């Protein structure tokens, strides 16, 4: 059989530090489980701009389209913050999402028991939390036209972005949310601002129509996005699956990350449509960014990146038991009290990125032989 292929895009800042540790996990699966991946590495973001004058080359784009799955760590940083929009590191990531047609971004926020006290919220509010944010990823205000900055005759300047959603874009992401809910607690909360935005009103109407036609068994509710932001910290356990647009999903998922203790904990899977052979394009990335403030010091939490690889094992390679090993190892190591700085708590042992990874790998050894 052909080997499973992976393209690794470490990117900028802490990206290479956390990707280096994932490489060890990938090697572990080959050595200890006989599961081999054909791994290639490429440039995206600021590092690609420095090497090639563009945040993503056509060649890397083509490789991303050809492999079974892409793992991306993070892009961006102050060094590139004054470039034009098409040259910025973030443009490389946005091009990957758009050209791979990764319209559904799954951002699970799960609270590990060991980290209940690491959250800034009260333990009772977050204990046992398990929600899934489904963020629309290839449309909305991130991509709508017209956009740009222009000079006005009166000497002022104007910045423009446009929120656009068409029926099929809403249906396909809502479908992903309904299907996921059926395998979870069977609840979907759709979030927009249909009270002020026509695109939000259309979103709500189309979600209702799809629900009526195909998903009446799933409990559907609607919440304005500002209220959802509030409810997410007031009583997050009321939610199961939240489906929302590109921008609101970006914001609500950063907010949800703090329920779990740190943005350094949150993985994501960006998925395209399933084709006739049952295959779908996919890119796996942590929710966090390049963390310029801690980059290059072996301080970053590698867990979001590890859990993103676990999502790849589940979603792209159907290796459920193997993903269980990785996720269980993370949970066990957290239970022993090891913490990177972002999830540090009194009385716990503060460790580096690499020591956290060492410990997780050792725990995987134990779980695999148990």
**Site residues (CB under 6 A) for ligand NAD?**
14, 74-77, 90, 93, 263-264, 285, 288-294, 300-301, 304, 340, 342
Among ligand IPM, Mn ion, ligand NAD, none, the one that 77 touches (CB under a kind-dependent 5 to 8 A) is ligand NAD
Binding-site partner at residue 288 among ligand IPM, ligand NAD, Mn ion, none, CB < 5 to 8 Å by type:
ligand NAD
Judged by beta carbon, residue 42 or residue 89, the one nearer ligand IPM is: 89
Nearer to Mn ion, 138 or 332 (CB): 138
Element (DSSP H or E) covering residue 220: strand 219-224
Catalytic residue (one of 226, 293, 318, 365): 226
Is-catalytic flag, 98?
A: no
Please name which of 4, 9, 94 lies closest in space to residue 60, comparing C-alpha atoms. 9
Give residues in contact with ligand IPM (CB under 6 A): 76, 90, 93-94, 250, 287, 289
Closest CA to 14 of 289, 307, 360, 310: 289
169: CB partners within 8 A, 6+ apart = 103, 136, 138, 139
Q: Is 142 a catalytic residue?
A: yes
Q: What is the number of other CB atoms lying within 10 angstroms of the CB of residue 7?
A: 23
Which one is catalytic: 193, 240, 245, 342? 193
**What b/e sequence results for 52-62 when a residue is b if at least 16 CB atoms lie within 10 Å of its CB, and e otherwise?**
eebbbbeebbe
Catalytic residue among 12, 68, 240, 250: 250
Tell me how crowded residue 183 is: count the other CB atoms within 10 A of its CB.
9
Distances (CA, A) of 43 to 12, 23, 91, 281: 9, 16, 13, 19
Catalytic-labelled residue, pool 50, 117, 130, 254: 254
193 is catalytic: yes
Q: Give the shortest CB-279-to-ligand NAD separation in angstroms.
A: 24
Residue 294: which of Mn ion, ligand NAD, ligand IPM, none does it interact with, CB under 5 to 8 A by kind?
ligand NAD
What's the angle, vertex CA 135, arms to CA 133 and CA 141, rounded to 5? 145
Tell me which of ligand IPM, ligand NAD, Mn ion, none is bound by residue 126, counting a contact when its beta carbon lies within the kind-specific cut-off of 5 to 8 angstroms: none
Rounded CA-CA distance 196/194 in Å is 5
Instruction: For 142-151, give one letter per residue: b (16+ CB within 10 A) or e.
Output: bbbeeeeeee
Q: Which is nearer to ligand IPM, 301 or 332 (CB)?
A: 301
C-alpha of 306 from chain center: 12
Give yes or no: 254 in active site. yes
Query: Containing H/E element for 274?
Result: strand 269-274
Residue closer to ligand IPM (CB basis): 119 or 308: 308
- Is residue 49 among the annotated active site residues? no
**330, 49 contact by CB (below 8 A):** no
Neighbours of 96 (CB within 10 A): 26
The partner in contact with residue 292, picked from Mn ion, ligand IPM, ligand NAD, none with C-beta cut-offs of 5 to 8 angstroms by kind, is: ligand NAD
When CB distances are held under 5 to 8 angstroms depending on the partner's kind, the choice from ligand IPM, Mn ion, ligand NAD, none that residue 301 binds is ligand NAD
Q: Which of residues 316-345 bind Mn ion (CB under 5 A)?
A: none
Q: Report the sign of the C-alpha dihedral through residues 130, 136, 138, 141, in that order.
A: negative
| Chain residue whose CB lies nearest Mn ion | 250
Closer Cβ to ligand IPM, 42 or 289, answer by number = 289
Among 192, 250, 342, 363, binds Mn ion (CB under 5 A): 250
Q: Which is nearer to ligand NAD, 6 or 189 (CB)?
A: 6
Active site (catalytic) residues: 142, 193, 226, 250, 254
| Contacts to Mn ion by CB under 5 A | 250
């Amino acid at each position: 059989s052909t080997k499973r292929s992976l393209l690794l895009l470490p990117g900028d800042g802490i990206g290479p530090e956390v990707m280096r540790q994932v490489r060890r996990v990938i090697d572990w699966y080959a050595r200890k489980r006989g599961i081999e991946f054909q791994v290639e590495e490429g440039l995206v973001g600021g590092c690609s701009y420095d090497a090639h004058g563009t945040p993503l080359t056509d060649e890397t784009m083509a490789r991303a389209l050809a492999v079974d799955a892409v793992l991306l760590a993070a892009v961006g940083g102050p060094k590139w913050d004054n470039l034009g929009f098409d040259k910025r590191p973030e443009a490389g990531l946005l091009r990957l999402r758009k050209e791979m047609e990764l319209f559904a971004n799954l951002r699970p926020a799960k609270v590990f028991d060991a980290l209940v006290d690491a959250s800034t919220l009260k333990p009772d509010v977050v204990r046992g939390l398990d929600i899934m944010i489904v963020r629309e990823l290839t449309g909305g205000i991130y991509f709508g036209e017209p956009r740009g900055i222009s000079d006005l005759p009166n000497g002022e300047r104007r910045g423009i972005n446009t929120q656009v959603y068409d029926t099929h874009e809403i249906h396909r992401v809502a479908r992903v949310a309904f299907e996921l809910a059926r395998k979870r607690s069977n609840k979907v909360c759709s979030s927009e601002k249909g009270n002020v935005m026509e695109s939000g009103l259309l979103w709500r109407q189309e979600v209702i129509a799809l629900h009526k036609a195909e998903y009446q068994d799933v409990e559907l509710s609607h919440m304005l996005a500002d209220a959802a932001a509030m409810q997410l910290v007031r009583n997050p356990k009321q939610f199961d699956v939240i489906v929302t647009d590109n921008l609101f999903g970006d914001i609500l998922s950063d907010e949800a990350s703090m329920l779990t203790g740190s943005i350094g904990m949150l993985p994501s899977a960006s998925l395209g449509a399933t084709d006739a052979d049952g295959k779908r394009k996919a890119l796996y990335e942590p929710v966090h960014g390049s963390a310029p403030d801690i980059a290059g010091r072996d301080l970053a939490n590698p867990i979001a990146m590890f859990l993103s690889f676990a999502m790849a094992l589940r979603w792209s390679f159907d290796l459920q038991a193997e993903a269980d090993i990785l996720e269980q190892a993370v949970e066990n190591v957290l239970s022993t009290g090891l913490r990177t700085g972002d999830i540090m708590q009194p009385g716990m042992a503060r460790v580096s990125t690499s020591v956290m990874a060492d410990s997780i790998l050792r725990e995987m050894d134990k779980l695999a032989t148990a």
